[in-house]
Chains A and B, each alone.
Chain A
Amino acid sequence: MTSKNIARDVLWPDDGKVQVRVAFLYVGQGSSAIVFAKDGDEYRVVLVDINLDRKVAGIDVPALMKDLLEGQVLNAFCNTHPHDDHLFGTKELSDAVDIKEVWHSNHKPSRKYGGKHSELTALVAKVKKKYGDNAEIVLEGSNSSVAYGEAEYHVLSPAQYVTEEVNEDDADKRRARIHEQCGVIKFGKEKQWIMIVGDADRCAFETHITKYHKDRLKSFCLAASHHGSNSFFRENDDQEEYMDGLAAIDPDYTVVSAPTQEESRHNHPRDFAMEKYEEQCGDDDVFHTGEERYCFIFDIYDDGSRSNPMNDGGRLVDEYGLREDGGDDGGGKDSAKAEAGYFKAPREQAGEYQPRKYG
């Protein structure tokens, strides 16, 4: 780590009027957001999802959180759903910082599709051992918000009945319905909310969320579902799009957490979805983390107003970006971050064109 704590410098609210701050991190093909909720002179910090993506220089979230918290506890780690791109790095996070609570969607993974879920299970066990059974909080859709410091959060999904239904299915069906059972949670207070929907899909919104919470969804900022996938609007290209969910949230700003299409193995964000978000918010108010590898920050103030969207200018990726190979041939700076590196190196291919250079 360099002498300056970039994470703290960039992310920690230094204006006491900030009641809620949400920072959407660039983590490549995945999602991660940090929520700061004012609590007296301090801030409670919640990390919603985590991902480590070396291929596209995603932020090393555990290292960033360690710097950010400076030994302070992470009040909660919230996992919207146990897919690897929302879980990758849980163990490293657990090693790096002290986590007080784990919030999760209570999805029951199968051995066949477990992936990184075991790290979440281990974290839950660790946290419960240290802080008691109440340290595990299952996300459950509710009609009311919960006070959290001076702010509030409101879990809108998954409804209890959905979790029960899904968990009774077999492994394949459970896996297929994981986005239907995804945690959807908004942070803020009174009229200003920031909505994080994880990978919640059209089915989740059409069948459960919009149906029951239509008047509770309004949020000025939306973390786009599933990295800008079309699944928020339609299950296939032939299906007519479902727009009621986005209309009910009615965001002024949308943040899409994904690398560029070229870098994404799923072609995220999809053009169709981006068009829909741009139609809703305007071209300039849809923020794509992968475009310039920026992190985006939104504040809600104690007087009920909110900030304009802010970005870190790439400082966090420059400092905490992961490198693909992690190799080093010596002679570099004496810096842990220098070892992490972040540059995209070329892949050697036999017989590729090499010009003769003169000068």
Chain B
Amino acid sequence: MEIVRADSTIQVIDDLSLCSDGNAEFRCSVAVGPFPNVARLPERVRLRVQLDSTFPYHGVDIYPEDESVRGFPHQDAETHKLCLFPDRQAFFNASRLKQYIDWAREWLIDAATEKLLPLGDPYEIPDFSRRDFQGELPTELPLLFDETDDSFGAWHDRMGATGYVDLLNAKILRGLLVSRFIDEEKNIVREWTYPKHLAERRDRVSGRWLLLSDPAYTRHRPPQTFGELTEMCIRLGVDLQRNIRLAREQRNRVPEAAFVLVGFQIPHRVGDEVSEVHWQPIYLSNNQTDRRERRKQKNHKSSKFKDSGLWNALVNEGGLAPQAALPWARSENIARKRLYARGEHSNIAAYERVVLAGCGALGGILAEMIIRGGAQDVHLLDKDLFELGNQCRHTLDGGSLRRGKATALSDRLQSCNPMSNITGYLTCLPPRLSDQNRDQIAKVINDADLIIDCTTDEGAFRWLDKISSRNRTKMVSMFVNFRATILTLAVSGRSSSCSRICQRLYLDIHSGVVPVTELEHGGQPNPDELVLPGPGCWHPTFPATNADMWLMTAAATNALNQLLGEPPKVDGTAMLFRRNIDAYSNPIEVVWKSNYR
């Protein structure tokens, strides 16, 4: 506090005092320059500064007390708390508190000069959060929609339009998926674009949609009351009450609620033309719920419980009064473009259909990486069942015991990337005649855009290579040596098969051109180095740790993503990654990269 008081521009109004919730707070005022200003902020703004009881480990919350400092971008619409820099950016020393007040002053100056959302900055959706309704909405499920500039064509000339919307309960995600929008003439405006597995199609519910323009009611604050939203609707000729009434009449059971989706046209960047629709839902009780509740209260049947009666009761009881708070629910745009805007293996994801053969430690990790990284349609193939002995290096766990590695992995990874289609097949390669899925597997491989071989099985590799060559499918092969000190990555070229690339690489290794010896690259272990799972029908396994495998696979995945992003070349590429056994050195080094044809 001494540092705060020492700043003559900060006027401390009352001393730090302990609040009933254990936090501490004080009030101060800071000068806002320039004054007068276009935002009509006062010359000095009073701030309530709240310190968490754990201070300094969390941030400091600052609330402007003046009525005129409301509704700005980067400000909580309900509590008016200023959205400042992440608390990690403030020093953890005596200047920490002062730092927050300085940030608040900068925020106020930006607000006064309308620089909180400068032209060209990414557009920020106004704060629709309504803490007052937490736990009171008929469902806590968030609305999940996918809207991008690609889908905006369906909406750009529909401002002020209304209609019905179908929603589906998501199966893997927790939420309600927007299935289709229908206009008043019963034409489909937009329809389902999600993977089929994502929704429980039996549990369809319906609601109403209405499309408005700017989501801000005043400054950057969204409408917070029925009166404010009604005002915005009237400007576009939309009857809000009619839409709410129609929504309440829908006999939705799972979840039992009325849904009104309010769409707003927004730009990608501040100052740009609008190019996307943001949907913010209002969740209300529907007539069924109200009827049941009233029956409980009155304990008899009455004409009042007809739809019209329920509506009149709602209106008369002030449920939709102008000052009544809008029960905004949560929504999230899960369009692929949004989900993978950060962290996408974009060049791998650009291949629409990927076949990954071999789901052992290497293949399992690779699958995890490429699927989380946005791969769209992935088919996993493996002949083995998951055993607990695999667990030390594998991404599967005991819940998948004795399940096919590929099928168990596909189930698990489906939830890591719900927008993709992940399928697993328990099969050897090539599939035997007795394999019931033989034709389907052949089709999947023939239709693939990218085949990744992690089988470590030469027969499977050759078979996949043959198909890849015939169909001109990009093919990748990956394997490690016995101690997982060398990972080999081979990628086919436009005219060079993966097997050709491997052969050329092996010749270079054999002739000593490559800085890896034959013994290191492919040498056989001594019998006493093998880890034997147990007596009986056993197979020798290799002694790499999960860290070894993750390190090497991660390095190879990044390299693969980069290679696949290069213009298609006649030549294929082979790379060798060496893992340093000395854990204090650079963990992974690319020791060989060469193009071959």
Interface residues of A (CB under 8 A from B): 57, 260, 263, 291-293, 313-314, 317-318, 321, 328-329, 331-333, 338, 341-347, 352-359
- State the CA gap A347–B500 with chains docked (Å): 8
Contact B470 A332 (CB under 8 A): yes
- State the CA gap A314–B494 with chains docked (Å): 8
Closest-by-CB residue of B relative to A290 is B570
Contact B472 A342 (CB under 8 A): yes
Among A342, A347, A353, A358, max chain B CB count under 10 A is at A358
Contact B446 A356 (CB under 8 A): no
Rounded to whole Å, the gap between the CB of A4 and the closest CB of chain B is 14
Contact B471 A293 (CB under 8 A): no
A to B CB contacts below 8 Å, 10 in the list: A332-B446, A332-B467, A345-B500, A353-B518, A354-B522, A355-B518, A355-B521, A355-B522, A359-B362, A359-B479
Closest-by-CB residue of A relative to B504 is A346
Across the interface, which residues of B come within 8 angstroms of A344, CB to CB?
Answer: 495-497, 500, 597
Contact B497 A343 (CB under 8 A): yes
- State the CA gap A346–B484 with chains docked (Å): 26
B523 within 8 A of A: yes
Contact B495 A359 (CB under 8 A): no
- State the CA gap A101–B45 with chains docked (Å): 92
- State the CA gap A352–B458 with chains docked (Å): 14
Contact A357 B494 (CB under 8 A): no
- State the CA gap A263–B472 with chains docked (Å): 21
Across the interface, which residues of B come within 8 angstroms of A329, CB to CB?
Answer: 466
Instruction: State how many residues of chain B have any CB contact under 8 Å with chain A.
Output: 52
- State the CA gap A345–B479 with chains docked (Å): 20
B524 within 8 A of A: yes
B506 within 8 A of A: yes
Question: If the complex has contacts A341-B469, A353-B522, are A346 and B497 also in contact, measured as CB distance less than 8 A?
Answer: yes
Among A293, A338, A343, max chain B CB count under 10 A is at A343
Rounded to whole Å, the gap between the CB of A357 and the closest CB of chain B is 4
Contact B456 A358 (CB under 8 A): yes
Question: If the complex has contacts A314-B570, A321-B495, A358-B480, are A346 and B522 also in contact, measured as CB distance less than 8 A?
Answer: no
Rounded to whole Å, the gap between the CB of B7 and the closest CB of chain A is 62
- State the CA gap A328–B469 with chains docked (Å): 10
- State the CA gap A317–B570 with chains docked (Å): 10
Contact A346 B503 (CB under 8 A): yes
Across the interface, which residues of A come within 8 angstroms of B506, CB to CB?
Answer: 352-355
Contact A314 B522 (CB under 8 A): no
Contact B481 A358 (CB under 8 A): yes
Contact B472 A345 (CB under 8 A): no
- State the CA gap A179–B492 with chains docked (Å): 39
Contact B494 A317 (CB under 8 A): yes
Closest-by-CB residue of A relative to B569 is A292
B510 within 8 A of A: yes
Interface digits, B457-479 against A, CB 8 Å rule (1 contact, 0 not)? Answer: 11000000011111110000011
Interface residues of B (CB under 8 A from A): 358, 360-363, 442, 446, 454-458, 466-472, 478-482, 484, 488, 492, 494-497, 499-500, 502-504, 506-507, 509-510, 518, 521-524, 542, 544, 567-570, 597
Q: A352-B510, A353-B518, A357-B457 are in contact. List 18 more A-B contacts (CB 8 A).
A: A317-B494, A318-B494, A328-B470, A332-B470, A342-B495, A343-B472, A345-B469, A345-B499, A346-B502, A346-B503, A353-B522, A355-B479, A355-B518, A355-B522, A356-B482, A357-B456, A359-B361, A359-B363
Across the interface, which residues of B come within 8 angstroms of A346, CB to CB?
Answer: 497, 499-500, 502-504
Rounded to whole Å, the gap between the CB of A232 and the closest CB of chain B is 26
Across the interface, which residues of B come within 8 angstroms of A318, CB to CB?
Answer: 472, 494
The 8 Å CB contact of A331, one of B446, B454, B481, B570, is B446
Among A342, A346, A354, max chain B CB count under 10 A is at A346
Contact A341 B478 (CB under 8 A): no
Question: If the complex has contacts A318-B494, A346-B497, are A353 and B456 also in contact, measured as CB distance less than 8 A?
Answer: no
Across the interface, which residues of B come within 8 angstroms of A293, CB to CB?
Answer: 494-495, 570
Rounded to whole Å, the gap between the CB of B577 and the closest CB of chain A is 13
- State the CA gap A340–B509 with chains docked (Å): 32
Closest-by-CB residue of B relative to A57 is B495
Across the interface, which residues of B come within 8 angstroms of A338, CB to CB?
Answer: 470-472
Rounded to whole Å, the gap between the CB of B262 and the closest CB of chain A is 45
Contact A357 B497 (CB under 8 A): no
Among B456, B469, B472, B570, max chain A CB count under 10 A is at B570
Question: If the complex has contacts A333-B446, A338-B471, are A359 and B478 also in contact, measured as CB distance less than 8 A?
Answer: yes
- State the CA gap A358–B455 with chains docked (Å): 8
Closest-by-CB residue of A relative to B469 is A343
Closest-by-CB residue of B relative to A335 is B471
Across the interface, which residues of B come within 8 angstroms of A321, CB to CB?
Answer: 495
Question: If the complex has contacts A346-B503, A359-B361, are A354 and B458 also in contact, measured as CB distance less than 8 A?
Answer: yes
- State the CA gap A242–B544 with chains docked (Å): 64
The 8 Å CB contact of B568, one of A314, A345, A358, A359, is A314
Contact A292 B570 (CB under 8 A): yes
Contact B510 A353 (CB under 8 A): yes
Closest-by-CB residue of A relative to B499 is A346
The 8 Å CB contact of A332, one of B358, B454, B471, B542, is B471
Contact B482 A358 (CB under 8 A): yes
- State the CA gap A355–B488 with chains docked (Å): 10
Contact A359 B469 (CB under 8 A): no
Closest-by-CB residue of A relative to B468 is A343
- State the CA gap A314–B496 with chains docked (Å): 13
Across the interface, which residues of A come within 8 angstroms of B471, CB to CB?
Answer: 332-333, 338
Rounded to whole Å, the gap between the CB of A251 and the closest CB of chain B is 25
Rounded to whole Å, the gap between the CB of B236 and the closest CB of chain A is 46
Closest-by-CB residue of A relative to B544 is A358
Across the interface, which residues of B come within 8 angstroms of A358, CB to CB?
Answer: 456, 479-482, 484, 542, 544
Across the interface, which residues of A come within 8 angstroms of B492, CB to CB?
Answer: 343
Question: If the complex has contacts A345-B497, A355-B521, are A331 and B467 also in contact, measured as CB distance less than 8 A?
Answer: yes
Across the interface, which residues of B come within 8 angstroms of A341, CB to CB?
Answer: 469-470, 472
- State the CA gap A145–B488 with chains docked (Å): 59
Across the interface, which residues of A come within 8 angstroms of B567, CB to CB?
Answer: 313
Among A292, A321, A357, max chain B CB count under 10 A is at A357
- State the CA gap A341–B457 with chains docked (Å): 25
Among A293, A313, A314, A344, max chain B CB count under 10 A is at A344
Closest-by-CB residue of A relative to B454 is A359
Across the interface, which residues of B come within 8 angstroms of A328, CB to CB?
Answer: 470
Across the interface, which residues of A come within 8 angstroms of B479, CB to CB?
Answer: 355, 357-359
Closest-by-CB residue of B relative to A359 is B362
- State the CA gap A8–B44 with chains docked (Å): 73
- State the CA gap A87–B502 with chains docked (Å): 35
Contact A359 B358 (CB under 8 A): yes
- State the CA gap A329–B468 with chains docked (Å): 12
Across the interface, which residues of A come within 8 angstroms of B358, CB to CB?
Answer: 359
- State the CA gap A358–B507 with chains docked (Å): 20
Which 10 pairs between the two chains have the least Cβ-Cβ distance?
A: A355-B522, A359-B362, A343-B469, A357-B479, A357-B456, A346-B503, A332-B470, A343-B497, A353-B510, A359-B456
Rounded to whole Å, the gap between the CB of B440 and the closest CB of chain A is 13
Contact B458 A333 (CB under 8 A): no
Across the interface, which residues of A come within 8 angstroms of B518, CB to CB?
Answer: 353, 355
- State the CA gap A206–B564 with chains docked (Å): 49
- State the CA gap A353–B470 with chains docked (Å): 25
